Amino acid sequence: MARSWGSLKTVAGFFSALALPAVGIALTQFGANTSAIAADTVVVRFGLFTESISLAELQKAAKTGELPESLKPYAKRLSEQQRRFFLGALGMKLPLNVVTVSKLVNTQIGTSILNDFATALAREDKAGVQALRAGLVLGSTAPQGLSILSFIAAYPSKRLEIDLPQAFVVAGSLNTAFWRTQQFMLAIAPQLNPRTPQIAFPFDPSKSGNAQVQILNLSLNDQKRQRNIPADIYWSTAATPNKPVIVFSNGFGSVRTELRYLAEHLASHGYVVAALEHPGSNETNINSALQGKNRIVKPQEFLYRPQDISFVLDELEKLNQTANNPLQGKLATTNAMVVGYSFGGGTALALAGAELQLEGLKQRCKKNLVVLSLGEAMQCIAQELPENNYQLRDTRIKQAIAFNPTTSLIFGETGLTKVQVPTLVLAGSADKTTPALTEQIVGFDKIPSPKWLVGIVGGTHLSVKDPSTTLDQIGKPNTPISGGEVVGEKAADVRKYVKAITLAFAFQMTPEAKNYAIFLTSYYAQFASTAAFPFRLITQIPPGTVPVVKEFVEK
């Protein structure tokens, strides 16, 4: 959901790194082909067979970058990528202090995850959860911080024994929504890849406009809710009240510049864009939480975020009426469009009329949490809200765009049917954080028309973000629930297409709507596709694929 998912993402990633490596070391012995790492007088048990490796060997491997001697007989069965993953995970340190780790592993969600992973420990007693909790907390006090190695060294037992068959079960259940999405994409690929005729397009909507972009930095204080909301206003002298004001809602743990390239593009074409930062779920809040100063996110943030957008629109209307202000008379605040990314995508849908329905979420979030994606786990925080239904629509919002939004749990069975404005949803087929099938495709089917679903085949969760906000992805390990992000220059084609369709969508609220409608078609998506990223655009789930959707959702 953002530059950092904070503690929830970090510890969940640690758990996956802890489970899969142990699976991997034994898989090399038994002939399977998957990711590898290992643990200490880590003993991996498979029936009567065992394989062990000492902590000293693992520590040496982390320093030298060379596989331990005891693993070399199996190394031939590991790919180069698997070797790198093994050695990289050993050296991975988690930016969590002991206070944060202690708080997290004692929460309901943390305990549930520990329970799931404890089933893979081969112990005669029933203290698996306590042992995992102790290893994590004590490991985080090590001078070098919490890592797989410090966890093993702190694990309160002479040996860390892993039951391989059960580890298969736990590891295999990690982020099931992502794997279902991959199966779904394979199943419907023929339907979403039609041959289209060659069409001449009148111009290139991905090119910048002629107006020079300026940025006005504001710090807006909502005294009623005691929230200070920073906002960057992108505008140019070409701005007119005939074009909607566009408000950006940032992803979880992120910053207001995460879609800067898109804000500049829109402003160069005469739109006023307000890119704000939600103070209870931005990067500053997450960094503070990592230091143990506050919670990662409070459940009230699901309500405050839409209210932040409404407050910013109120403040922009004041500017619109302020004499000598450069934006005076240029702001159509009653005719606005919202663009949200990830957690912000859910925010955008709520403003468009989607109703928060939490009864089913509260039941779902009591069950096995290992199977959840990070996006689903994030939504589980809302279970602490007192009511089951919340309506947060702002009638000034006349269109909504949701990039990689979270929708699977927060809107219940019928919440998305209450969306009341034209809506565009974007999904990436390789998104691990908010898997397309569960978070976008199923939800899209419930949204009333007019609507558009944009599919980025090969796109990951962070592919749409500004390159300046994804630099931290360099060197991150690729696990079942995070990593492997396609960003920066590699995702340039994605950002180019995002600029085109967002501009075309915004123009649907102006007298020039017809001139831009062609860019919101499958024909243009096919035309704009590249070898790295085939783009797809549909306005309804193809009838032939509906059974496929139901099949994977019901699994």
Pairwise CA distance, residues 352 & 336, whole Å: 11
Pairwise CA distance, residues 186 & 180, whole Å: 10
Q: What are the distances in angstroms from CA 41 to CA 58, 124, 159, 168, 394? A: 10, 16, 5, 20, 58
Q: Indicate whether 121 pLDDT > 90.
A: no
For residues 82 and 29, which has the higher predicted lDDT (pLDDT)?
A: 82
For residues 307 and 131, which has the higher predicted lDDT (pLDDT)?
A: 307
How much is the average pLDDT of 346-375? 88
Range ranked top by mean pLDDT from 179-183, 494-498, 547-551: 494-498
Least confident span in 49-53, 108-112, 192-196, 303-307:
192-196
- 10 Å CB burial of residue 186 (0-12, 13-18, 19+) is exposed
Kindly list the domain boundaries of the chain, sorted by start residue.
6-172, 214-554
Q: Indicate whether 322 pLDDT > 90.
A: yes
How sure is the predictor about 367, in pLDDT bands with cuts at 50, 70 and 90?
A: confident
Buried b (16+ CB within 10 A) or exposed e, 481-518: bbbebbbbeebbbbbbbbbbbbbbbbbbbbeeeeebeb
- The answer to whether the predicted template modeling score (pTM) of the entire model surpasses 0.85 is no
* CATH number, domain 214-554, options 3.40.190.10, 3.30.450.40, 3.40.50.1820, 3.30.70.20: 3.40.50.1820
Q: So what's the pLDDT on residue 234? A: 98
| Percent with pLDDT over 90 in the chain | 49
Asked if 420 contacts 353 with a C-beta cutoff of 8 angstroms, the reply is yes
How much is the average pLDDT of 58-63? 83
How sure is the predictor about 385, in pLDDT bands with cuts at 50, 70 and 90?
A: very high
How sure is the predictor about 292, in pLDDT bands with cuts at 50, 70 and 90?
A: confident
Pairwise CA distance, residues 103 & 292, whole Å: 8
Q: Indicate whether 29 pLDDT > 50.
A: no
